[in-house]
Each structure stands twice: as structure tokens, then as C-alpha cells.
A and B are shown apart, each in its own frame.
Chain A
Amino acid sequence: MELFIDRLTKQYGAKLAVDRFTLKLSKGIYGLLGPNGSGKTTLLRMIADVLRPTSGEITVDGVDIRRLDEAYRDVLGYLPQDFGYYRDFTAIDYLMYLSAVKGLKKNRAEHQTKKLLAFVGLENEAKNKIKSFSGGMRQRLGIAQALLNDPGILILDEPTAGLDPQERIRFRNIISDISENKIVLLSTHIVSDIEYIAGQVIMMKNGELLKQGTVQELAELVMGKVWSFALGAQETEAIKAKHIIANLKHTENGVELRIVADNPPHEKAVSVPPTIEDTYLYYFNEVNAL
């Protein structure tokens, strides 16, 4: 299966949320990386067929998803950023209802519901009302619903938002487990979510495709632009004001700095191997996002 996004554009008034975005996806995990407001959610909504593009098209194996209609949504699994639930439904009710909407027969729906609740570790909560669930439990339930129809295309929008570190690791492992023979497109602004599982990373900025490649390839984009050195506390303040700080660590000898910059920020600076986080910082200048 091949998902092709062709010059996809979404305009709200004068603002271009997604601007002629073109991308070809075949099976594997794709990490969609970008700061808040970069157009990730708008792009994913259009791929999930819940938002109409202003122009451009999305095709699966050459056929427009609008023409495929139900056949497209039959192979689609979608976890929106802020997805809904019915407070008075139990986890089973919720998954059974969405199974029905996804067109699963009753027997298969029951089987999938049971299997997925166990898969996301909610088998003991199956008969509890969702209103009693923690944020992490709800997020796991959201993942379970996205997998009900065993989708060939899985769209996950900021799936780790609100999860604690343990939950995030667990989530990463779940995604890794289910990704076989699927197109998984996972958006995040948290680099570590995709660093270890994404085969390809797509960087998006101001609605446009900025860079695409493997984690290694993207990291290498800033080769020779990542610097490390130690300074005294007073000098550090001056450096911080001028440069993008990737890391800052207070030690007995002063402050160890990791800086992303085109040129050495200090005479003591030595070039170090870059990571994808450095690339993110270099292009988005978003220290707080890390």
C-alpha cells in the first residue's frame, strides 16, 4: 500500500495551515516532527478524512481517498490529539461501539475488543466507566480504538501528550509492536517519542515539509554544528543569550554546555556528534519543546 499526499494545502482565511505538502508513504513508522502550530494536526486531519483540503489530493495506490470513501476509512486507524469518549460508557462499550462504526461484525468486534484491551493493559478495567480512568489509561484506550479494524494506515496525533515517562515508553513499545505491514504516521513535538522507533522522520514547519530522512540522516544535517564545552557561571549567561542551548549541566567545575550553532560559540568549544534533537533545535529553535 502506498499513501501519497500531493501538494496538499489547507487555508483558513489568509492563513496557510498546510502549504503544498507533498509526501509519499509506504509501510513503516513515520515520525512527523514539528513545533506547535506547524500544521501537523491539520495535515493529519486531512489524511484522516475529517477535514477537506483547500487544494491537493491524497491517494492510496493512486486512487483519491474521496473516491475510495468507506473503503479508505476501512483501512484507517486514527487517534486524534484530543480524542473524545463517552463518560458513562465502559471501556468495552466504547470499543464495541467504535467497532460497529468501523464496520466490524459482532463476533470480531468482541474478539478485537478483548484482545486490544489486553494489549494495552486495560483488561482489568474493561467494565469500568471511562470517566474513572486516568489520562494514561484513556490514551491507551484511544490507541486500542485506533487498532480495532487492524488498520493498514495508522494516524496518531500527539499520542503521548499528557503521558508520564513510563507510559510514554510503554506506548512506544506498543507502536513498535503493531507497526508491521502498516503505514504508521505519528506526529509529535517530543523528539524522543520517535527517535527510536521511526524509520523516517518528517520535519514540518509553517505548514511546509522542511526535511525528511532517517533519524541518522537528519542528525547528520547538523554535523559540525553541535558544540560542547564547560564555562563558569557568569560567562554562561552571556552565551545563553546568544545561542541555542541543547543542554546545560551544572558541575563542580562550572557549567557544561551543549550548543547548536553554525560557528564555534567559544574558543573552548569542541565539535561533538549530533543527535536528531540537535537538528530539531537547529531548525525550529525550540529549546522548551524538549
Chain B
Amino acid sequence: MKMMLFYELKKMFNLKKIIICGTSMIALCAIIFFGRASSLNLFENLPDIKQKLNIFSGEITSENMKPILQRYEEIINDPNHYTEVDGERIFTPSAEIRTEMDKFEYILFLHNSINSWPQRMIDRLQENLTDPGITPAQELLIKQNIEMLSKKGNLIVGYNLFYDYYNSFLKNFAPFLLGFLMLFFLAPVFSNEYATKMDGLILSSKHGKKGVIIAKFFAAFIGINAFFILVFGTYILIAGIAVGFSGGQTSFTTTLHDAFQYVNSPYNFTMFQFLLFSLAVSWGACIGFGVFILFISSKIRNTMTVSAISLPVFILPLFFYAVDNSRDEFTGIINFSYGRIMQVAPLIDRFNGFVLLGNVIMLKDVLLILLSVTTGMLAFFTYRSWKKREVAN
């Protein structure tokens, strides 16, 4: 098996491909990071951002926030920061004070908006519970939502810029890079055997109908892991070295650039937990999509056709979502796609559940179970497809 695996890997990767794809991916990860960093003047502003995010570290409670609120009130109430124009008092702080206030802005926003959001949601949901037209299933769902939101507790904040960059990469670029790598390397796994007419030789050999399949799956598995490590590993290294890895203990709803993206999430991850969870889910989606490509490859002898079928399955949902994500029923369907699962956000960005036989089932769990089941089924069909392959022409 080892020897077969070695040659399956050799077929999948050759030195030229490894060098071209490896360097391209590293370059792309660097371009993506530095592109975003430069558009936000990151390196110029990094000391300020650090100061802003570090102005308060720890759990947001009224008690903890007192000094900041006090200072803020002092500024607001200081008559020296006002000027009289046409009989009206206008707030005109000095540049120094303005900068100091800017630094409070983020933490106050988290305190005033994000930290209190779950409680406001709970209040709203409890109001909904009083609606006389509510069905038992809706009631169950609302109660479950309330229960999950009640467990969220206060936000834990601090400097977590690395996770912010990671999150942005996960949502915007990682699926595309991984998707293209998988298509490029996995599409020929079976189709190339048909195209080169090696299938006859392999299938007439002792391990040609079973051992080869296992070796091919193992090789694909190693490949997917390599792509995953290459893409995420490179980006995480670049981002971590550039902005530091700290912030793992902060709440995952406190990302600097898009704090609202998980505001409705009933889950209560820290940034580090989110990193691990999202990497695991994204990896699972990669395995699922990889097996999908192998399945198509086992059916079709032309590698280009395999890619032409697999690419839209991956890209179109992401494209449609980017174009129009305003309709819930539409996004609800495309959230079941590999690309969207790879982005992880749709699984946990809000309370998504339904009632089945009196139990609340979370969509996240359904998606992950479906992903596992379809991956298993496609793997089996791929095996069957190769094993029952007839060399006719």
C-alpha cells in the first residue's frame, strides 16, 4: 500500500506543480494580507489600533467600564470643549481630546451595542412569546433561542487584530484558494486514468479494483490536508507575525472591522475556540468537496469536463450569495453548499433551527451531518464507479 500511495502522490503532485502552486499560494496569501493591511493603512495605524483595542481588556461589565465612562462623561461635560456659535453650544474638542475620544469609540460601541445585544434580543423574543398566534414549534424555537442567548454572558474584549484578519480571510478568500487547488489537483485523479487508458492495466491487476481506490483516497486526503495547511498556515503565519497572535481569549463577536457579523449568533465562542471550530468545519467542507471532485472524476474521462462540472457547484453559491444575500429562503438553500460551509459563518451567525418531533434541531448540526453523510455516500459511489468500470473503448 505504501508503494502504491507513493506513486499515487507522485501522479498527483510533481515538482513543477508543487513549486508553481506552492509559491503562487504563498504569494497570494501575502498579497491578500498586505493588500488589506495597506488599504487600511495598517502598519501606519497599528500603534493606534493596538492602543484603541487595548484601552480596555477583559470582561465588559458596568463596573469595569466605569473609569472609561467616567472619563468620557468628563470630556462631554467639560465646558472648555464647547464653543458658542450663534447662541448654540457646539462640541469642539481639541485634536488631542478628539483622538482620546476616538480611542474610546470602539470599546463604547462594544459596551453599548454589542454587549447588550443578546439581552435586547431576549427581550424581543420574550415579547414574541406573548403573541397569541404562536405555534408550539415556534414557541419551542424561541425558548431555545432565549436559552442559548442567556448563556452568552458579557463580552470579553482586548487586542485581537490577528483573529479579525483570520476571520476576513476565512470568509472572503480561503474558500476560493482551497477550491481552485482542489480542482487543479484532484480533478485528474480518476479521469486521467481513463484519458491515458491506464484503467485497463490497473483494473486487470490484483489490487486494481480495491487497493488502488484506497491509495487514491489516501493520496487525495494527504493532498487536501497539504492544501489546507498551505493556505491557512501561510496566511496565519503572515498575519500572526505582522500583527501578533494575541486575543484568543476575547469573544468572537468583537472583531474590529465587522462587529455585527456574529451579533445574532447564539453561540458563545472565544476567538481561539472560533479559530479551531472554523478550521475544523472548513476542513470538513474541503474533504466533502474533495470527495465530490473525486466522484465526478470517477465518472468522466475528461479532466476539463470534471472541472467544468465541479467549479460551478463550488463557485456559483458563493457568487449568488455575493450578488444577493437579502432573501432568507435563497440564502437558506445556498448555505448548504460546500463553499458556504467552508466560510463557516452561515452555520453560526444566527439562530438557525427547526423543530422535529418535538426537538429543536440546529441547522449547524444538520449541515455538518449532511456533509458527513453525503461525503460518505460519494466516497462509496466513487469506489463503486471505479470498481465496476468497464473498459469498452
Contact = CB atoms under 8 A, between A and B. Distances in A.
Interface of A: 12, 45, 48-52, 69-70, 73-74, 76, 78, 80, 82-89, 93, 96-103, 106, 109, 145, 149, 155
B203 A50 contact: yes
A83 B206 contact: no
B390 A103 contact: no
A11 to B, nearest CB: 12
B201 A145 contact: yes
A101 B6 CA distance: 12
Interface string B1-16: 0011011001100100
Interface stretch (B192-200, B286-294, B338-346): B192-200
B198 A106 contact: no
B222 interface: no
Contacts of A51: 390-392
B22 interface: no
A21 to B, nearest CB: 17
B204 A48 contact: yes
Contact of A96 (B3, B14, B196, B211): B3
A149 B206 contact: yes
Q: Which 6 A-B pairs have the closest CB atoms?
A: A84-B197, A84-B198, A97-B7, A100-B3, A84-B196, A103-B206
Contacts of B204: 48-50, 73, 76, 78, 155
B202 interface: yes
B23 to A, nearest CB: 20
A133 B64 CA distance: 77
Nearest to A48: B204
10 contacts: A45-B200, A50-B204, A84-B197, A86-B198, A93-B7, A100-B3, A100-B6, A102-B205, A106-B3, A149-B206
A171 B210 CA distance: 32
B391 A85 contact: no
A101 B200 contact: no
Given A101-B208, A103-B206, A109-B3, A93 B200 contact: no
Contacts of A89: 10
A52 B390 contact: yes
A74 B203 CA distance: 11
A103 B206 CA distance: 6
B200 A100 contact: no
Interface in B163-222: 193, 196-212
B19 to A, nearest CB: 14
B200 A83 contact: yes
B207 to A, nearest CB: 5
A20 B331 CA distance: 58
Nearest to A80: B200
Contact of A50 (B6, B11, B391): B391
